[in-house]
Chain A
Amino acid sequence: MHKILMESPGEKMLMLGNEAIARGAIEAGVAFTSTYPGTPSSEISLNFFQASQESDLYFEYSSNEKVALEVSAAAANAGLRSMAVMKHVGLNVAADALMTLAYVGVKGGLVILTADDPFMFSSQNEQDNRYYAKLSGLPLVEPSSVPEAKELVGYALDISEQLQEPVIFRTTTRINHSTGVVTFGKLKPRKTKGEFAKDPLNLVTVPAVSRKLHVKLLENYDKAKALSETSPFNIIEGDGAMGIICNGVSYNYVRDAVNDLKISDRVRVLRIGFSHPLPEKMIKAFLKSCDKVLVVEEGEPYMEEAAKAFAQEEKLDLPINGKTVGKLTRLYEYSPAQVREAIAGYFDVAYQAPALPDLSDVPAVPQRPPTLCAGCSHRATYYEVAKAAEGMATIYPTDIGCYTLGLLPPLSMADFLLCMGSSVGTACGFSKATDQKVIAFIGDSTFFHSGIPGLVNAVFNNCNFTLVILDNGTTAMTGHQPNPGVDMERLNLPGYGRVSIEKVVKAIGVPHVTVIKPYKVKKSIEQIQEAISYKGVSVIISEEVCALYAKALKLPRRKPFRVSEKCQNHRDCIEGLACPAFYVWNERVKIDADMCTGCALCAQICPENAILPVKADA
C-alpha cells in the first residue's frame, strides 16, 4: 500500500517534505486533487497520482495551473475537500481564477499549494507568493519544517471550510525538498461524491453579484484575522527585549542562531505560520515588549513592512529592520550563517564567524551544468534546425522544459524566454517587429499548457514564423508526468483520452504542417528547410520519445555506437553535438557505450562515416 494511504497512526517515517504534504492531505480527508507539475512541487502530485491508482482519491494532471485550480474549485463547490498543487509561477497562470474564486468561495475545504523557489534552483524567477494572499484577500499559511507541513495541511482545510473560502499554502524549496521524521496521524474518511446546489446569485460573478461578494470577502478577512490572532501556528518563544520575527525556514536558522550565539535568555522570537492576514494584535503586543526588532524572512519585506506600519499605528519608535541588516537581502535563499551573522550584528552580540578556507589557490573547477541527455532527440532537432537555417539571421524564442538546455553551446539554440508558452507569443511579436527569421521551440506539454492560444493568434494575425513542437511524448523536465498528448495505454492506465498535436495544429488552421523524425538527419533537414522557407505560419512537429523515458518504459534499446579507426579527428561530432556520451581519450574521441542510446545522430554527421554500431561480439 502506498505510504500516504497507510492506516498506521503513530508510525514514524522519514519523509520528503512533499511526501509529508501529500500524507497530510490524505490524513485530512482530501478527496479531490489536481495539478500541473512544476519543481519544487512535483512530488506532491506524484504521490497523489500513485495513491489515486489504488484508492478512491481523485487526482488529475490538468493541462495547466489555471485549469487545475478551476477543476478543484468546482469540486470544492460541490462540497469535496480538494487541493490544487502548483509551483509559484503556476499561480500566475491560475491567478485569474484565484482572484474571483476568492469572491465566490468554496463549500468543501480547498487548499491551493504554491511552491516558491528562492534562489531559483529550477525556476525563471523567485517571486514571493505571499503577495497573492494580500492581492486576493485569502488566508495564507506556511510551514517551517517537514513535520509541521503535514499538520498544516489539515489546519488549512479546516480554516477553509470554516471561512468558506480557499486557503493558500505556501512552501519554499527547502520545505519541499527537505526530509524529516513525521509521525502518522489517523486518516479522516474521504467524501468522494459531491453535490452542487444551484445558487446563481452568489456563484455567478456578474457585477451585481460581485459587488455583494466583495463585501463578504472583506468580512471574511476580519474573521480570518481573528483566527490568525489565536492560531497555534503563530508562536512566541523566549523572553527578552531583543525581538525577532520570522517565518518558514528562516525560523530554523533563527532558532539555531539563538542557540549558537547563546542568547536564548535575551531573545523573544515570533514565528509566523499564519501569514495572511497577519495577527495584528499579536504583533503589536510583541513590538511593545521589545527594544529592537529584527525581521528574518526570505524574499520580499512582507512582514517587515507590516511590522513597521503596526509600530506607526501604536506610536512605537523602536528600531525595526530586516532587509537592510547585514547580508539579509531580497535575493535568493538565506543560509544559517547569514542569519546568525545578521542577528549577532544587529543585537551587538559577540560573535566570531568561523574562518572560511582561503580558496585563492584553488583552480577553477570546470562547470558541470545540466545538459541534454545522451541520445536526447532535442539535440538532433536543434542540430538540424541550425543546419537548415545556416546563413539566415535568426531569432530562436524558446520555452520551458528540458529543451531550454539547448541554450548552452555548442547548440546555442535559445534566444528569448519569459514563461510557459511564451515561445509562441513572442514569436508573433518578433516576426512582426523584425525581418529576422523567427523559429520558436516548445515542448509537447508546454504546447498544451499555454502554447495553443499563441498559435491561434499567429494564424489570425497572419504572422510569419516557424514553430517547432518538440514532442517527446512526456513532460520530461519535471519527471515524466503525462500530458494530454501522451499514450496512457502504454502506461497500462486505461480510461484516458488522447489529444493529437498534429490535429490540433491543423484545426487551428496552420497552413504548413510538417512532422519529422529527428533521428533521420538528412530527411529532417530537408523538411525543415522547406518549412522555414514558407511565408506565413509553419509548424514542425518533431516526434521522438524522450531517451530517459524510453529507458524507464523499458522500450527496446538500439545498439550503441563506437568511433572506428576511420576517424580523422574532425571532431564534428563532439564539438557540434556535445552529447555527454562522448569523451576524449589520448586525443581521440570515444563513445561511452553504457551511455550511448544508439540514436545514430553523430554517425550521420561524421564526414568520414567513422561512427559505427558496436558489433554484438565486440
Chain B
Amino acid sequence: MDTTKLVIVAVGGQGNLLASSVLGEAALMSDIPLHMSEIHGMAQRGGVVESALVFGDAHSTIISDGEADILVGFEPAETLRAINKCNADTVVITNLAPLMPFTVNIGQGVYPDLAQLQDLIRSKTRKLIAFNAASLAKEAGNSLAVNMVLLGALVQTGVLPLSKETVQEAMRRKTKAAFLDSNLKAFEMGFKAAESNSD
C-alpha cells in the first residue's frame, strides 16, 4: 500500500506522545503497517517534541524535509518551525493558541504574528486548517485535551488511512478512563472544527 507520512510537533507536556500512541493503536487494529519514532529527550523541560508516523509499506521511522503528507502542530510557532517538513501538497493543521517560549518572555526573540504565520503556511502548502484547539479543549471540559481536539481534526482530513470509529476505539483503549468522555468530546469538536475550517 502507499505510504502516508505524518509529522506531529508539540511543546513538552501537550500530549503529543499520547496522540501518537492512539494513532499507533488504531493502525494496529486496522492491520496497517506503521513505523514511528519520537524525539522527546527533554520534553518535560519545555523543549519541542516531534513524532514521525509513517503508515503503509515503508521501513523508515523518520520523515525527511519536504516529505510530510500531513503536519499537525500543537502550537503555532512550532508548526511554522516545522514548515521545512512540508511541500506544496502537504495538508497542515495547527492549533492557534500560542505557548510563549521563555526566550520571548525574556526578550530574546519575537513571537510570529499569527495572521502572517497562517498566510505563510497557506502559501507554501496545499491546505491549512487553523483554529484555537485550546479553547475547544476547555469547552470540552478538559484543558489538557488539545491533543484529542487535533486528533479529531487530523482524522477529519481523511489523509490518514484510519477510520473515525477505529481512532475513537483506540482512544478508549489508550487514554485514561476518567478522561475518556471529555477526550471523545474534544475529538468530536476538533473533527467538526476541521469540517467547517475550509480555506
Chain A positions near chain B (C-beta within 8 angstroms): 12-14, 39-40, 121-122, 145, 173-174, 177-181, 249, 251-253, 255-256, 259, 333, 335-338, 354-359, 361-373, 402, 405, 409-410, 477, 548, 574-575, 578-580, 582-584
Contacts and interface: CB of A to CB of B under 8 A. Distances in A.
A368 B45 contact: no
Contacts of A574: 105-106
B109 A356 contact: no
Given A179-B24, A372-B45, A356 B87 contact: yes
A482 B187 CA distance: 38
A365 B112 contact: yes
Interface string B23-66: 01100100001111111111011111000000001111111111
Interface of B: 11-12, 20-21, 24-25, 28, 33-42, 44-48, 57-67, 77-78, 80-81, 83-84, 86-88, 100-112, 116, 120, 124-125
A616 to B, nearest CB: 21
Given A354-B67, A355-B66, A368 B59 contact: no
Given A255-B59, A259-B58, A357-B83, 12 more contacts: A122-B41, A122-B42, A179-B34, A181-B33, A336-B64, A357-B124, A358-B124, A362-B120, A365-B77, A366-B77, A367-B109, A574-B106
A335 B64 contact: yes
State the main secondary structure of chain A at its contact with B.
Answer: loop
Contacts of B24: 14, 179
B108 A368 contact: no
B106 A338 contact: no
Contacts of A181: 28, 33-34
A180 B88 CA distance: 29
A362 B102 contact: no
27 contacts: A12-B28, A14-B28, A121-B39, A179-B24, A181-B34, A253-B59, A259-B58, A333-B62, A355-B66, A357-B86, A357-B124, A364-B109, A365-B78, A366-B101, A366-B103, A366-B110, A367-B108, A368-B11, A368-B46, A370-B45, A371-B46, A373-B44, A405-B45, A409-B108, A574-B105, A580-B102, A582-B105
Contacts of B81: 365
Contact of B104 (A12, A121, A366): A366
Contacts of B105: 574, 578, 580, 582-584
Contacts of A356: 65-66, 84, 87
A86 to B, nearest CB: 16
B112 A177 contact: no
A481 to B, nearest CB: 14
A548 B12 CA distance: 13
